[in-house]
Chain A
């Protein structure tokens, strides 16, 4: 018997001005799994992520129809607290985006915004988050040095730690390995598989191989439409739709 879905999208459309970015998406995402969003460029993957923590609110002219529920709560409800929503639904961007602060300052940024000021408490949170992102051993001696001096792979894991520090329920990662070498990619994938135990993970994978290595379920998007969604092995071996088959077999993309 499947678990109750964590995130439910119902007839969700998204528009930038007059352009349509997402068309009639209906989708359920289960907790404690990695859901991979697959598709070529400009198929609406980033928009889908950013509409689930409402970062799209920052963009002028963005609007939607339909519904997004997280734990049965409509996130586009006017009563909802945006900071609260974004703490629950964390996001890691495609390029490492450390703030110009220390390593500690970056991880403690979110908790501090939430109002946690006690040094001891912050230290605990930071250590826990860095350990979970498999970065603690590498940075424990230079927590106070600038995050900008870390390598690309370390910066990206720092960004993951920064999200984990808020103890979110959902973690969205938008091509988190796009600027990284294979070794850093492997270490990020290891931490993803650990994260799967506790969180709902939504991943826009760097490539099809990455999706097949880590994802439980896969949704294939094309031009803003959800073409097909299902268990990862089914999507990769017996896709139902011809377009999915062409994409995963490398005929286009």
Chain B
């Protein structure tokens, strides 16, 4: 039986529409669920008080600090390493055995479950390097975790820069370093930024690896060597140990707002950067 062109068009359109709509629906449903349960509990004191009675009452101040500190450490360590690796792979070496090994390594790293990173961080940073359960241990562990993403996106960004830019820079008497600093990196920044944002998302959302390396202390961290609890870990413990579902949802809602805030800020920075550079 022949299906008319019109019918097949309609079917295809329908399938694509359903796919798009269900993605949207799942996202809205999750957001709705968390926000409806959590938002009513969000008030200023919830953000500014530290948790009391294991989180049954009080706020989440210390976990916000923990989240921001761990993420910051991870990003500060992983970004230069990742961008450096990407620039090395693209600008300082041709396809060779070394570059293939590095790329294979990062691909493998990207597929490793976070609990394995947690275990590695626990054995290496916490015990072997005697950093203890601390923001530094957790941040370093997160950094190894998000490194593949940053390398991969930065490499794509560097790869996308036209060959003619490099040629022009060299032809005008530029050294390789000058070319990287003045042409390659400034033009790769939007792509690098995307990778960093993905890294932030992964850091903020991580639980298993953090419990193993930064602990789950409810005290406000005071230095890089203090243990800390992030919002995600707090959420997990509140829900998992049955301490308070209400507080768990409130923490979840705050987490969503935080991620929204980080993304908005990042987009704004990127927009400002583009406006400055022109194009």
Q: A residues engaging B (CB < 8 A)?
A: 53, 55, 58, 60, 82-84, 86-87, 90-91, 93, 95, 97, 99-100, 102, 109-110, 112-114, 145-146, 148, 162-163, 166
- Shortest Cβ gap from A141 to chain B (Å): 16
Does chain A have a CB within 8 A of B167?
A: yes
- Shortest Cβ gap from B190 to chain A (Å): 12
- Shortest Cβ gap from A230 to chain B (Å): 29
Instruction: Take A60-B94, A146-B279 as given contacts and tell me if A113 and B172 are in contact as well, using a CB distance cutoff of 8 Å.
Output: yes
Q: How far is the CA of A90 from the CA of B175 in the complex (A)?
A: 15
- Shortest Cβ gap from B123 to chain A (Å): 42
Interface residues of B in 137-186 (CB under 8 A from A): 164-175, 178, 182-183
Instruction: Take A100-B187, A102-B278, A146-B278 as given contacts and tell me if A86 and B175 are in contact as well, using a CB distance cutoff of 8 Å.
Output: no
Q: How far is the CA of A184 from the CA of B94 in the complex (A)?
A: 39
Q: What total count of A-B pairs have CB within 8 Å?
A: 65
Instruction: Take A60-B94, A146-B278, A148-B279 as given contacts and tell me if A99 and B168 are in contact as well, using a CB distance cutoff of 8 Å.
Output: yes
Q: Quick check: A113 and B168 within 8 Å, CB to CB?
A: no
Q: How far is the CA of A100 from the CA of B277 in the complex (A)?
A: 8
Q: How far is the CA of A84 from the CA of B94 in the complex (A)?
A: 25
Instruction: Take A110-B173, A114-B173 as given contacts and tell me if A97 and B187 are in contact as well, using a CB distance cutoff of 8 Å.
Output: no
Instruction: Take A93-B164, A146-B278 as given contacts and tell me if A99 and B183 are in contact as well, using a CB distance cutoff of 8 Å.
Output: yes
Residues of A contacting B178 with CB < 8 Å?
113
Show 22 residue pairs from A and B whose CB-CB distance is below 8 angstroms, ordered by the A residue. A53-B171, A55-B167, A55-B170, A55-B171, A58-B167, A58-B170, A83-B174, A84-B173, A86-B171, A87-B173, A90-B172, A91-B171, A93-B164, A97-B165, A99-B168, A109-B182, A110-B172, A110-B174, A113-B173, A113-B175, A146-B278, A162-B172
Residue of A nearest to B178 (CB): A113
How many residues belonging to B are interface residues under a CB distance threshold of 8 Å? 20
Residues of A contacting B175 with CB < 8 Å?
83, 113
Residue of A nearest to B163 (CB): A58
Interface string of B226-270 (1 = CB under 8 A from A): 000000000000000000000000000000000000000000000
Contact of A58 among B166, B173, B278 (CB under 8 A): B166
- Shortest Cβ gap from A81 to chain B (Å): 9
Residue of A nearest to B165 (CB): A99
Q: Quick check: B167 and A93 within 8 Å, CB to CB?
A: yes
- Shortest Cβ gap from A218 to chain B (Å): 24
Q: How far is the CA of A84 from the CA of B173 in the complex (A)?
A: 6
- Shortest Cβ gap from B176 to chain A (Å): 10
Residues of B contacting A146 with CB < 8 Å?
278-279
Q: How far is the CA of A163 from the CA of B166 in the complex (A)?
A: 15
Residues of B contacting A60 with CB < 8 Å?
94
Q: Quick check: B278 and A86 within 8 Å, CB to CB?
A: no
